[in-house]
Chain A
Amino acid sequence: MKDEYDIVVVGAGPAGSMAARYAAEQGISVLMLEKDREVGYPVRCGEAISKAGIEEFIPINEKWISATINKFALISPDGSEAVVEYGDAFVLERKLFDYELAKTAAAKGAVILTKAYVNGLLFDGDKVAGVKYEFRGEQKEVKAKVVIAADGVESRVGRWAGLRTHTDFRDMECCMQVTVSNINIDPGTLYFYFGGNVAPNGYLWVFPKSGGCANIGLGVSGMIGKKKSALSYLNDFLDKKFPDAPILTCIAGGVPSIPTLKQISAPGIMIAGDAARQVNPLSGGGIASGMIGGSIAGRVAAESVKLNKPEHVFSYDVEWNNRLGKRHETFNRIKNGIYNFSDDKFNNIAASFLKIPENKRTLKSLFTVALFNNPSLLIDIAKVFI
């Protein structure tokens, strides 16, 4: 264990591991610190991801694939099911997946330390110059040329560098999820339930996993949570739909459902993943975008070290915005349109959609139907497909 590294990454989730890997592969020294005793655990995630989102970073391996998806089912408040064919998606076994991602970072030379809780930053003037952390009851310090904060939804590291990274309570999707066994659903379909009674301003998901299991979860914004908690909404749904399903895990979590922070780099520090809100605000999906954010951060940080140009880290903001940041802003506008739909509107959309011949029902035709009900969304949705 050295007391100085070129780059220190805080957090060993998908964003942290990719940051560590893309930095280490350029031959500089990298240390990744994880507060929990084990990489990948506990899992706080619905675990669905597109094939393309994985393949950019790691070859598909059955070991951490829990279900292969070929359909989406969108269920409106009156119970009608709009089913669309949609291949090329998976439900992961995140615990194993995160582990493999961390191993790819280690394979490039990154040093990993678990049970290391970062509780402060070191400064050189205004520039971040390392981190303070607690390890097995001892307070320690490690210097770094660049710190990459991939410390998740509970991120505090960015704040210590003077960035206002906290999420407004109205923009936080506060989530509860259970993993249940022995339920009767199609093992290749992702189910999304909409409606004010199920998941106001959001959706409830039922994602299949191997062996007749499924992740059932939902998120509500802090604004809704003021009146009724995510736990209470989830219990209502389970009582109604799966009253006897054995519950294998029950977990809480938060998804920052807004576009990326305005500033994700500052002298000596970069922020990646959930900590930077690199989350698709429409779906709440953050695995793939976190990996993309982390990989850009890691590469740019390493370039900055090799060029000996500290100001190079600021180019991370531009690269991220061009890759996904701007797209997320569009998704956010669509989300704001859709999440304000009334139950009647969801029902009307489903009814119109079910009139389309079965072989012509696609995600695109579903959006087209949604547009008839809300033409102002047209411009934003057009941007997604162009």
Chain B
Amino acid sequence: MYRQAKTGILLIDINSDKCDLCGCCVGICPEDAIELKESEISIIDERCTNCSKCIWSCPIEAIKFNKEGVQA
């Protein structure tokens, strides 16, 4: 997969303390790589390509790019 070849690791970091569970990022994610339950959000590691569109579309600044890598 593109991301794995490019960087190997997940770099998208959702801060669950800031997240309002609104679903903007889920709606824009081109890879269907975000899972949103009633009170829980998570990135599906094997689908995410680190494209960063979720970062730009988060109204509440809860998603950041973490170049150190993230444990999904």
Q: Which residues of A contact B (CB under 8 A)?
A: 35-37, 44, 115, 117, 119, 134, 152-156, 159, 166-169, 172, 174-176, 219-220, 222-223, 225-226, 229-232, 251-254, 256
B57 and A225 within 8 A (CB)? yes
Q: Nearest-CB distance from A178 to chain B (Å)? A: 12
Q: Nearest-CB distance from A140 to chain B (Å)? A: 15
A-B contact pairs, 16 of them (CB 8 A): A119-B35, A153-B23, A153-B27, A154-B27, A166-B27, A166-B30, A169-B28, A172-B28, A176-B59, A222-B56, A226-B56, A229-B58, A229-B60, A232-B61, A253-B59, A254-B28
Chain B CB within 10 A, most for which of A159, A174, A253:
A174
In the complex with contacts A166-B32, A251-B20, A256-B27, A37-B38 CB distance below 8 A: yes
Q: Which residues of chain A have C-beta atoms less than 8 A from B38's C-beta?
A: 35-37, 115, 117
Q: Which residues of chain B have C-beta atoms less than 8 A from A115's C-beta?
A: 38
- Residues of chain B at interface, number, CB under 8 A: 21
B24 and A174 within 8 A (CB)? yes
Is the CB of B37 closer than 8 A to any CB of chain A?
yes
Chain B CB within 10 A, most for which of A115, A168, A229, A251:
A229
Q: Nearest-CB distance from B47 to chain A (Å)? A: 11
B23 and A254 within 8 A (CB)? yes
Q: Which residues of chain A have C-beta atoms less than 8 A from B24's C-beta?
A: 153-154, 172, 174, 252-254
0/1 string, B21-44, CB within 8 A of A gives 1: 011101111101001111000000
A254 and B27 within 8 A (CB)? yes
Which residue on chain A has the smallest CB distance to residue B31? A166
A251 and B22 within 8 A (CB)? yes
Is the CB of B53 closer than 8 A to any CB of chain A?
yes
Which residue on chain B has the smallest CB distance to residue A274? B27
**Cα distance A119–B26 in the bound complex, in angstroms:** 13
In the complex, which of the residues A119, A155, A169, A232 contacts B57, with contact meaning CB atoms closer than 8 Å?
Answer: A169
Which residue on chain B has the smallest CB distance to residue A253? B22
**Cα distance A36–B24 in the bound complex, in angstroms:** 17
B23 and A225 within 8 A (CB)? no
**Cα distance A376–B34 in the bound complex, in angstroms:** 41
The B contact surface, by secondary structure, is loop
Chain B CB within 10 A, most for which of A168, A172, A251:
A172
Q: Nearest-CB distance from B36 to chain A (Å)? A: 5
Q: Which residues of chain A have C-beta atoms less than 8 A from B20's C-beta?
A: 251-252
Which residue on chain A has the smallest CB distance to residue B41? A154
A252 and B28 within 8 A (CB)? no
**Cα distance A152–B36 in the bound complex, in angstroms:** 12
B57 and A174 within 8 A (CB)? yes
Chain A CB within 10 A, most for which of B23, B32, B38, B59:
B59
Q: Nearest-CB distance from B64 to chain A (Å)? A: 12
B60 and A230 within 8 A (CB)? yes
A254 and B22 within 8 A (CB)? yes
Chain A CB within 10 A, most for which of B23, B24, B26:
B24
A174 and B59 within 8 A (CB)? yes
Q: Which residues of chain B have C-beta atoms less than 8 A from A167's C-beta?
A: 27-28
Q: Nearest-CB distance from A203 to chain B (Å)? A: 15
Q: Which residues of chain B have C-beta atoms less than 8 A from A176's C-beta?
A: 59-60
In the complex, which of the residues B27, B28, B56, B60 contacts A231, with contact meaning CB atoms closer than 8 Å?
Answer: B60
**Cα distance A285–B10 in the bound complex, in angstroms:** 36
A44 and B28 within 8 A (CB)? no
In the complex with contacts A117-B37, A117-B38, A156-B57 CB distance below 8 A: no
Q: Which residues of chain B have C-beta atoms less than 8 A from A222's C-beta?
A: 28, 53, 56-57
Q: Nearest-CB distance from B20 to chain A (Å)? A: 4
**Cα distance A115–B20 in the bound complex, in angstroms:** 18
